[in-house]
Amino acid sequence: LELTKREYTMHDHNTMLKDFIQSNEGKLKKLQDDAKIAQDAFDDAVKYFGENPKTTPPSVFFPVFVRFVKAYKQAEEENELRKKQEQALMEKLMEQEALMEQQDQKSPSHKSKRQQQELIAELRRRQVKDNRHVYEGKDGAIEDIITALKKNNITKFPNVHSRVRISSSTAVVEDSQSWQASLFTWLPPLSLCQAAGGRCG
């Protein structure tokens, strides 16, 4: 349009140039204003993403978004495909598990093996329970022995009683002391503390 204007200044009698300038000068002004708005918007967008508008032209800036959108869509498709594969695998595993359960119910050998495993587990639970009762009973027996020793009621024990019959009073004291020493050597540390009257360090 600028060239047309210069040409018109040299040939002002040319009506065609005059009409062209008058009909397109307003359109050119609007295009220039729109281009200025677009450039300002582009500069703001580039600055928003931390880039320099002078070193990042549109030919470099916009392809970044194109690649990002393409990679995002591809990731969505891959995630959807992976989800479908996992669901199909889960359904297949559930079908296999149900089939194996049906075979176990129909097969006597599998059923017998399962019953044996349940029986073994039950016996182990009972054994643990019985061992706990035996341990508690032993603790009670030790308590009775310690109580008898505290009261010097040694005649309640058969071995000592037989020695009382055949020995003198001096021999009884020696035998009882020896028997007590051997007993305290056999008892666990907890019972020794109890024998001392419950005073343990």
76-114, pLDDT tens digit by residue?
A: 999 999 999 999 999 998 888 888 877 766 666 656 677
Judge whether 186 and 138 are in contact, CB under 8 Å.
no
Distance CA 36, CA 40 (A): 6
pLDDT at 120 over 60: yes
Q: Please check whether residue 106 lies inside any domain of the structure.
A: no
Same domain, 124 and 191: yes
- Of 56, 80, 95, the position where a domain reaches its end is 56
Report yes or no on 72 lying in a domain.
Answer: no
Enclosing domain of residue 124:
115-195
The answer to whether residue 91 is domain-embedded is no
Residue 147 forms part of a structural domain: yes
Distance of CA 127 to the CA centre of its chain: 35
- The answer to whether residues 23 and 33 touch, using CB atoms and an 8 Å cutoff, is no
**Is the separation of the CB atoms in 8 and 17 below 8 Å?**
yes
Domain count along the chain:
2
Asked, for residue 122, whether it belongs to a domain, the answer is yes
Give 125-182 pLDDT, tens digit per residue.
877 765 555 444 545 566 666 676 666 545 444 454 444 444 444 444 444 455 455 5
